[in-house]
Amino acid sequence: MSDNPPPATPAPLGQTPAGPGGKTLAEALRRGEARMHVRSRGEGARALDLYHRLMRASSAVWAGSAALAFVLFNLAFAALYALDPKGLSSPAEFMAVPLFWRCFFFSVHTVATVGYGNVYPVSLWANWVVVAEITLGLALFGVMTGMAFARFSRPRARIAFSQRAIVREVEGVPTMMLRAANQRHNMIFSAEARLSVLVEEMVGGVPMRRFYDLNLVRNSNPTFALTWTLMHALDAASPLAPLVANGTPFEIIALVWGVDEISGHTIHGRWAYEPADLHHGARFADMVERDRHGGWMIDYDRFHETIAID
């Protein structure tokens, strides 16, 4: 159990705790958001970690940022070349192009090491600018290439979670159950799962957001390749049982992680549930069966389906 200080404007007690960007934490996790949308002020608000901003950006944003950096880089050096109008030697047919754009295209040829040979520096100033551009251009391309590889090689899991959790009796004990599946069907070795419940409480007259760990019937899976039903008994020792019984707002955070057999990297999947996502007196529809060749067949059309039981 861990205590976390409340946000600057905590949600009133009795309401679902607000998560990033005014949304609940469950909504943020279900949207697949990898970070919390938090506005800040003060000393820490001035911290700018450009690398992490670009690493967590979408592919479209990253590609656009890389293209913009390349264009701005060449525009800056075009302005430097233009300071010496006679610093570049150009063929007569190219002289019809305005000076600045001649310098811009020469900058692109230089930093990309194309070197068509029809435009070249002739003055001392232009040659020194070429030296600076090549030096900084190698660094720029090195950073962009390294970041592109880091984004491409980053391990990503294809772990799906059921959109709803169920509550039913198992051997006479009310049990909350949710379903996870490895959509790649490769081996995830030493897979582990963890459930926590997030609830807002009053502690000494102060609202605090607390996480309580939920014990699982089985929290490890040696080879997670197909599906996995996570089960938590709502017994006397369960922190979740009184919340469900009293109708207290809460959020259940589910995490599954393990070692991918292909990449050797640790991968993880996450999901979250709110009280409205619990389906009482139901079971999950069967989705795993054998095909006519004796292999496993998984029907993902029934992955989220629940069936009411007496």
Q: How far apart are CA 86 and CA 121, in angstroms?
A: 9
Give the per-residue pLDDT at 4.
43
Residue type at position 208: M
Give the per-residue pLDDT at 30.
59
Give the per-residue pLDDT at 38.
57
The 3-class secondary structure across 129-176, one letter per residue, is HHHHHHHHHHHHHHHHHHHHHHHHHCCCCCEEECCCEEEEEECCEEEE
Give the per-residue pLDDT at 201.
84
Give the per-residue pLDDT at 58.
83
Q: What residue ranges of the chain have pLDDT lower than 50?
A: 1-22, 34
User: Is this prediction's pTM over 0.75?
Assistant: no
Work out the burial of residue 20: count CB atoms within 10 Å of its CB; fewer than 13 is exposed, 13-18 middle, 19 or more buried.
middle
Give the per-residue pLDDT at 262.
82
Give the per-residue pLDDT at 3.
44
Residue 264 bridge partners (DSSP): none
Report the phi/psi class of residue 275: left, alpha or beta, with left for phi > 0 and alpha for psi in -120 to 50: alpha
Q: What is the DSSP string of the chain?
A: -EEEPPPSSPPPTTSPPP-GGGS-HHHHHHTT--S------SGGGG---HHHHHHHS-HHHHHHHHHHHHHHHHHHHHHHHHTSTTSEE--GGGTTS-HHHHHHHHHHHHHTT---SSSEE-SHHHHHHHHHHHHHHHHHHHHHHHHHHHHHHS----EEE-SSEEEEEETTEEEEEEEEEETT-S-EEEEEEEEEEEEEEEETTEEEEEEEEE--S--EEEEESSEEEEEEE-STT-SSHHHHHHT---EEEEEEEEEETTT--EEEEEEEE-GGGEEESEEEPP-EEE-TTS-EEE-GGGTT-EEE--
pLDDT in tens, 93-119: 888 889 999 999 999 999 988 877 788
Give the per-residue pLDDT at 11.
35
Q: How far apart are CA 259 and CA 223, in angstroms?
A: 10
Give the per-residue pLDDT at 5.
38
Q: How far apart are CA 3 and CA 5, in angstroms?
A: 7
Contact 151, 63 (CB under 8 A): no
Contact 165, 252 (CB under 8 A): yes
Q: How far apart are CA 69 and CA 221, in angstroms?
A: 46
> CB neighbours of 19 closer than 8 A, spacing ≥ 6?
25, 26, 27, 28, 36, 251
Give the per-residue pLDDT at 28.
60
Give all domains of the chain, ordered by start, each with its CATH number: 59-153 (1.10.287.70), 157-308 (2.60.40.1400)
